[in-house]
Structure 1
Amino acid sequence: MKFPDNPLLGPLSRADFITANLSLVETVVNRHFRSQCAATRTPLTDANSEGAIGLINAYDRYNDAAVPFGAFAFPHIYGEIANAISRRPTTGIKIPEWIYPLIKRINSAGLSGEQPEVVAKELGITAAKARQALRCIRIKSTDALPEKDTRGHSDDYTYLDADTFLARLKPQPKKIIHMLMADYSQSEVGRALGMSRQSVRATVLRVRENYERYEKISA
């Protein structure tokens, strides 16, 4: 299956554009994830591979030429890497996605110290699945594990629901928020957009107020 090129991203083909921008992934990994990779024994090449998925998703979803591609791509890249690393215990063993709900069920039922056969009977699952889930529980405490994988959704790694709230913003505030989400400072955003730092801050405060109102309406 051939995926279409994005006309907003210049003359390069989809494959060539993604290859040419893999440095964005490397920058995110080196700037934000080196210590986490070391702690979870995740090879940097694995983190780069996960980030490349985010880069591809960003290319396919990019639809606003007023927003710099790097700023748009950042949350997609960051989210893919963060999600992948969150599923690795400190031993570096990756827990399969399907096991997470089962681990939650076992912990909720207070069965984490039981034998696989007991867990299987109580939960109506196979002994093999119970054994694998118990092994993962013993590798690492999983009390704080997410219920499900929400990879690719912007609310994994921002404080705003970008797909709904940000879409309502006018082009200038939207561009500012996207750049701040991409880890630019307010001063850097101001220089890039020809604004003072105070103007950027005032815009952010207005957006925050609007978001708080939006959140109350949506609740």
Structure 2
Amino acid sequence: MLSDMSTSRPGTDVRPATSPGRSHDDAPDTAEAFTRLNALEDGPEREALRDELVTAWLPMAHRIAGRFRDRGESLEDLRQVAALGLVKAIDRYDPSRGAFESYAVPTITGEVKRHFRDRMWALRVPRRVQELRNKVRLARRDLTQSPGSPEPSVAAIAEHTGLTEEEVAAGLEALDSFSTLSLDAEVSADDDGYSLADTLGAPDGSYDIVIDRESAKEGLRHLPERERAILYMRFFEDMTQSRIADRLGISQMHVSRLISRSCARVREEAMGRRQGRTARD
């Protein structure tokens, strides 16, 4: 890993800066080393010097990564991203265009910001949730500034921010909710291939039957008793129109017309109720 590189080899001038113009102790004096690096051809010597420069400037990269802590990413991951930005800065730096620090800081910062941008929420979330997330993040940072401070409890964050514990819980959940999860993601460590998609229910036609029955109930109640009886005999007792006609003492043609008219009335009332419900929603 980039953060585990060894210290400089003997003879390489990579020393902490003593110039009063520098603002941080983690900005070593590596001007001579960069001049040498720029003059070397690709090969083992250049690779070794490049690694030494990475090691020398790594504390600065870690400091920049620390600015972005408590935003939903582990500090170790942020340090790795910052180290990647440092490597890019070293590879692209031109010593003739000014101090390395002036070039490296925006390069590393941009790499970390790009990491967050790539991991931002894939779905639009309410502004209120984003506000809660930011308040909780800042509160956690304030409450853990002292070395060795324990992770603050929900109650402590709520007291610090003036939020309710439910709001703090929502903010904490949002801290780790940047990206969506694939339905192909496995939900267990076993090699059974059980994925998140396997936990989702399949379409069930029985729900449509329930909806249709509930929609038809009111229309059936409004039918005359004889028409309700005809529909019951036809659709529940599975009687033919001729048998219904014989039982009621009417013609088969009349039974057919009554069934058609009754079904139309029930259908119209059911559709009217559905449209009215949709309009209200």
Same fold (TM over 0.5): no
Higher relative contact order (CA 8 A, sep 6+): 1
- Name the TM-score, length of structure 2 as normaliser: 0.28
- Name the TM-score, length of structure 1 as normaliser: 0.35
